[in-house]
Chains A and B, each alone.
Chain A
Amino acid sequence: MITEALGLSAVLFVIGTFGVLVRRNAIIMFLCIELQLNAVNVAFVAFSNVFGIDGQVFVFFVMTVAAAEAAVGLAIIISIFRHYETVDVGNFNLLKW
């Protein structure tokens, strides 16, 4: 079960990474980052079956950080949308050289 869970975690993390790299919609990029965090949570829960309850406590912290990140990130997206009228990250080229 643990090996399968680690495999699931690896596959989900890779799909999330691919989504972050490939999509241009900022909200979907955020969703893919959440997918990566969830993949790590699966690995934590799997390892908690080996090393004790500490892994499940860390999943709590990961969820809290994910909630904070989602709130601040979505606020940034709203702020950028007011300025550019789009969420396509290809248009945000102020810092691009």
Chain B
Amino acid sequence: MTTVLFYVFAGIAIVAAIGVVIARSPVGSLLFMVTTLAAISGTFVLMEAHFLAAVQVIVYAGAIMVLFLFVIMLLNLGHEAQRDLKWGAFSIVSAAVVGGIVGMLALDLRGSDGAVVSGAGAEAIAAATEQYGAVGAIARPLYTTYVVPFEITGILLLVAIVGAIVLAKRGSAS
């Protein structure tokens, strides 16, 4: 049952991801992206990452995608529907790059087949969730082992806020 559900969510995610690339209008592309994110959130639930699934929906599909939608609305790009795929010589380079990545990934997945199917991690996560709850299991390492990267993340967000305001302010630079 879990495997079937995983395949359903994976199929939805892949089809919607193709839709993101081939959709004509930016709004259509964005709605396909929200579908992809929701399907990925479903696969997170099936992989026992319940809190991350909730964060995925709230932060990604909620906040970041709404930010994109606001920018599309602000720049009035919703009606722009011309075909803007690059063809010609550049598509050959793109196909070569993508083909190279596909080949390397397929080689890696074939080489590691059966080597990592299960490990100690699932039991450790289940034990931590049993003891501290789904949020506490993530919050404990976040505030102990990874507390320095966590604080640096705060500085990164501050820099991003200041940078976004400075860049988007009307008539600041030049």
Contacts and interface: CB of A to CB of B under 8 A. Distances in A.
Chain A: interface residue count, which band? Answer: 35 or more
Nearest to B64: A70
A38 B40 CA distance: 8
A32 B156 contact: no
A92 interface: no
Chain B: interface residue count, which band? Answer: 35 or more
A21 B84 CA distance: 12
Given A14-B98, A38-B37, A50 B119 contact: yes
Contacts of B164: 71-72, 74-75
Interface string A21-62: 111110110111011001001100111111111111101110
Interface in B123-174: 124-125, 128, 137-138, 141-142, 145-146, 149, 153, 156-157, 159-161, 163-165, 167-168, 170, 173
B52 A59 contact: yes
A61 B51 CA distance: 14
A77 B71 contact: yes
Contact of B98 (A21, A48, A55): A21
A42 B42 CA distance: 11
Contacts of A53: 121, 124-125, 128, 137-138, 141
Given A13-B101, A41-B40, A45-B44, A3 B157 contact: no
